[in-house]
Structure 1
Amino acid sequence: MKYVLGAAALVLATLVSGCSSNYVMATRDGKMIMTKGKPEIDKETGLVKYTDRSGHELQINGDEVSSIVER
């Protein structure tokens, strides 16, 4: 019975984590930045706020970003 509950919890965790989309941001100098979730653009400051694959929240100047594509 414990194995069934453990397997069900693992399947549920996998399904829930699959709901958030990852994005790729291309910069003007050719870098590709993989993000967890959709990057947010702050219209007041012009900065793009994103979470990298390691879970760190970072910001980049919006002028440096050439495109944002869902992966």
Structure 2
Amino acid sequence: MKKALVLPAIALVAIATLSGCTRTSYAIHTHDGRTLISDGKPKETSAGLLGYTDANGVKQQINKTEVKEVSEIPH
């Protein structure tokens, strides 16, 4: 009986741990010195903009000419 409760609990902990590691954040460095944090990889639009989702979950866009560098943030 005890084994029947322990195994599902271990499986739930393992799934929760693995699901937290799947999202990657990126730092968008601008020419004027700002650093913007993107939740997930930023995507270029056909209009010359870089679209990203900020740390609050709000979709944002920045002109590609303002971006100096985009780098992955290690976890």
Q: TM-score, normalised by structure 2?
A: 0.76
Segments of structure 2 that go 5 or more residues without pairing to the other structure are none
How many pairs are equivalent?
69
1:4-57 deviation digits (Å, cap 9, x = unpaired): 857754552342132121100000100000110000011x20000000111011
Which residue in the other structure is 1:27 paired with?
30
Segments of structure 1 that go 5 or more residues without pairing to the other structure are none
**Percent of residue pairs bearing the same amino acid type:** 34
Amino acid aligned to 1:58: Q
Aligned-partner Cα distance in 2 for 1:19–1:27: 26
- Superposed CA RMSD: 1.7
Aligned-partner Cα distance in 2 for 1:63–1:40: 14
